[in-house]
């Protein structure tokens, strides 16, 4: 039996300047649109999702900030124990932490985060659609949408900052105005502080794979424009559609007291335009700490 891959914690400038780690190589959630789990598995010689070796976690230098996770989900079932172990190591040493997940966060982890509340930059809870049939096809290993949304209630109850993350949006499938509004209302009702939205992007083999899915045939036909990204380029929907949809979501978010942002790393044109806040980082955390990020707080201007 080959040895499991070792844990790595590395600085990642493409994630708005933070360190990042995966506690699995590959991801058991198996989202069909995600290229990163597959790329990480091939790069590290793993044929199926595999938990990393955390036996040396005590010797890992705690970074100033940490994102979980760039190529997996920190709360997929096989990742839960590793995520907890890593957090138990870095949080007492002062590391600031941010997450993105389509999983269900265990109660023990929420209690650990609450004990270090001032260090938690934010938790992005990934739900792009409330349609279980759609999600079962595109995110076959993930919990149902409403189970994920319950993370927001539980995080808010412990005073932890959470965002509804609508990523990736598929045109026609996910971006109808009524569906967007329903999701934003759910996020606000459950205590989210922010909404993040980003359209799907793909290239090469990954784009061809999406085209083969009947549910996405009309949708992916609109993924035609090459967008400049951090580290390269990929096909996505035309910029005009992004601007229109993000503007609609931003208006809905504002109407419900939420902050809106998109991931500027996934389309550098949006970052350069300054039309929307486009950092993946919590706008208030680096300057003021999370306690300042409340619905009553005045919003910062979009980044230029």
- Give residue-wise pLDDT tens across range 50-78: 999 999 999 999 999 999 999 999 999 99
Of the listed ranges 13-17, 168-172, 223-227, 235-239, the one predicted with least confidence = 13-17
Single pTM value for the model: 0.90
What integer pLDDT is reported at residue 284 of this predicted model?
Answer: 56
Q: Is the peptide bond before 168 cis (omega within 30 degrees of 0)?
A: yes
Q: Which 3 state secondary structure label does DSSP give 164?
A: strand
Q: Are strands 201-202 and 232-236 parallel, antiparallel or unpaired?
A: antiparallel
Of the listed ranges 8-17, 63-72, 145-154, 233-242, the one predicted with least confidence = 8-17
pLDDT at 303 over 70: no
- Name beta bridge partners: 68: 99
Task: Tell me the angle at which helices 107-115 and 80-90 cross, rounded to the nearest 10 degrees.
Answer: 10
């Amino acid at each position: 039996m080959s040895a499991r891959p070792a844990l790595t914690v590395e600085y990642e400038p493409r994630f708005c300047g933070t360190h990042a780690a995966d506690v699995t190589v590959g991801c058991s959630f198996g989202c069909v649109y995600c290229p990163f789990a597959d790329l990480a598995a091939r790069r590290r010689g793993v044929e199926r999702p595999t938990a990393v070796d955390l036996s040396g976690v005590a010797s890992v230098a705690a970074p100033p900030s940490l994102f979980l996770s760039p190529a997996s989900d920190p709360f997929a079932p096989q990742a839960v124990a590793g995520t907890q172990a890593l957090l138990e190591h870095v949080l007492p040493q002062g590391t600031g932490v941010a997450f993105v997940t389509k999983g269900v966060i265990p109660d023990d982890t929420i209690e650990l985060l609450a004990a270090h509340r001032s260090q938690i930059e934010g938790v992005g809870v990934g739900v792009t659609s409330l349609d279980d049939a759609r999600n079962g096809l595109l995110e076959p290993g993930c919990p149902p949408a409403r189970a994920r949304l319950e993370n927001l209630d539980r995080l808010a109850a412990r005073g932890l900052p959470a965002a509804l993350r609508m990523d990736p949006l598929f045109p026609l499938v996910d971006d109808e105005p009524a569906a967007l509004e329903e999701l934003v209302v759910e996020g606000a009702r459950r205590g989210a502080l922010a909404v993040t939205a980003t359209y799907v992007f793909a290239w090469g083999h990954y784009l061809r794979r999406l085209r083969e899915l009947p549910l996405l045939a009309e949708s992916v036909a609109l993924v035609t424009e090459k967008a400049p990204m951090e580290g390269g380029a990929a096909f996505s929907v035309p910029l005009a559609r992004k601007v229109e949809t993000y503007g609609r979501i931003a208006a809905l978010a504002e109407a419900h007291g939420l902050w809106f942002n998109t991931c500027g790393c996934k389309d550098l044109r949006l970052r350069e335009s300054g039309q929307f806040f486009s950092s993946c980082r919590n706008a208030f955390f680096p300057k003021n700490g999370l306690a300042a990020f409340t619905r009553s707080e005045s919003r910062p201007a979009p980044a230029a």
